[in-house]
Amino acid sequence: MIDILPPKQKHIIPFSLVKQGSIISRADVVWTGLTHCGDRLTVCGVSNVVTIPKWQRQGYGTQLIQRITAYILN
């Protein structure tokens, strides 16, 4: 049996791409802090990426992920 434990505190940063006044693509950055070998680290992941079907295959999801990546690295 495998136990899955939720994190004690969820840290979620939502990102949205807006066109013509509507959200057309969105994703979340989920992060937490941890200590490894005495060093305090922040660990991030991208989750819940979605683009409205009408706007798919036009590079909007890629653009959103590129902006999220830049945010994480800065």
Encode pLDDT of 9-45 as tens digits.
678 999 999 999 999 999 999 998 888 899 999 999 9
Residue 23, domain extent: 11-73
Residue 37 lies in a domain: yes
Q: How many domains does the chain have?
A: 1
SS3 track for 12-72: EEEEEEEECCEEEEEEEEEEEEEEECCEEEEEEEEEEEEECHHHCCCCHHHHHHHHHHHHH
C-beta of residue 15 within 8 angstroms of C-beta of residue 26: yes
Residue 1 lies in a domain: no
Residue 67 lies in a domain: yes
Predicted TM-score of the model (pTM): 0.77
Residue pLDDT, tens place only, 39-70: 999 999 999 999 999 999 999 999 999 999 99
Q: What is the CA radius of gyration of the chain?
A: 15
